[in-house]
Amino acid sequence: MDFLHRNGVLVIQHLQRDYRAYYDFLNFMSNVGDPRNIFSIYFPLWFQLNQTVGTKMIWVAVIGDWFNLIFKWILFGHRPYWWVQETQIYPNHSSPCLEQFPTTCETGPGSPSGHAMGSSCVWYVMVTAALSYTVSRLDKSSITLHRHACGRGL
């Protein structure tokens, strides 16, 4: 497990150091996908626009959170922010410094990340809904164009 955590810390350091310029964008994407928005914003909104997508959204929230809870009970994983303080693998107090953000200040087990699972589900439902809407609009317009072209040909 230490191997996994150590590599996780390296990835976090890489992101925090080399992708600082994208902080606002990444934070925005992360906040938009925050699963807590499902109940207060996305479900009511999507249910008005499209009942199927709205229903998908609420199922994603319920099933996703349920799976996350079960996995957390099983894995009961450390969070990198406290693992670096507790592990003995960094000699002479040379533990890496990881920056904390409001969303990373959680106290429960960290593995698997509920935020990552929930956000990816939210984004998946929204992107697939947007894509299928676009495809159906394109299909309709190409049918209309085809009919129009055929009508002219007659």
Ligand X SMILES: O=P(O)(O)OC[C@H]1O[C@@H](O)[C@H](O)[C@@H](O)[C@@H]1O
CB of 34 to ligand X, least distance (A): 4
**Which member of 64, 77, 80, 114 binds ligand X (CB under 6 A)?**
114
Contact 36, 58 (CB under 8 A): no
Rounded Cα–Cα distance for residues 123 and 127 (Å): 6
User: Residue 115, interface with ligand X (CB under 6 A)?
Assistant: yes
Rounded Cα–Cα distance for residues 43 and 38 (Å): 5
User: Residue 106, interface with ligand X (CB under 6 A)?
Assistant: yes
Non-local (6+) Cβ contacts of 129 within 8 A are: 46, 50, 53, 56
Longest dimension (CA), the chain: 86
CB of 109 to ligand X, least distance (A): 8
User: Residue 65, interface with ligand X (CB under 6 A)?
Assistant: no
Q: Compare residues 50 and 104 and give the one whose CB is closer to ligand X.
A: 104
Q: Compare residues 99 and 106 and give the one whose CB is closer to ligand X.
A: 106
Give the binding range for ligand X (CB under 6 A) out of 3-11, 88-96, 109-117, 120-128: 109-117
Q: Compare residues 106 and 139 and give the one whose CB is closer to ligand X.
A: 106
Q: Which region holds residue 93: left if phi is over 0, alpha if psi is between -120 and 50, else beta? A: left
Rounded Cα–Cα distance for residues 107 and 96 (Å): 20
User: Residue 54, interface with ligand X (CB under 6 A)?
Assistant: no
User: Residue 123, interface with ligand X (CB under 6 A)?
Assistant: no
DSSP 92: T
Residues in touch with ligand X (CB under 6 A): 34-36, 106, 110, 113-116, 118
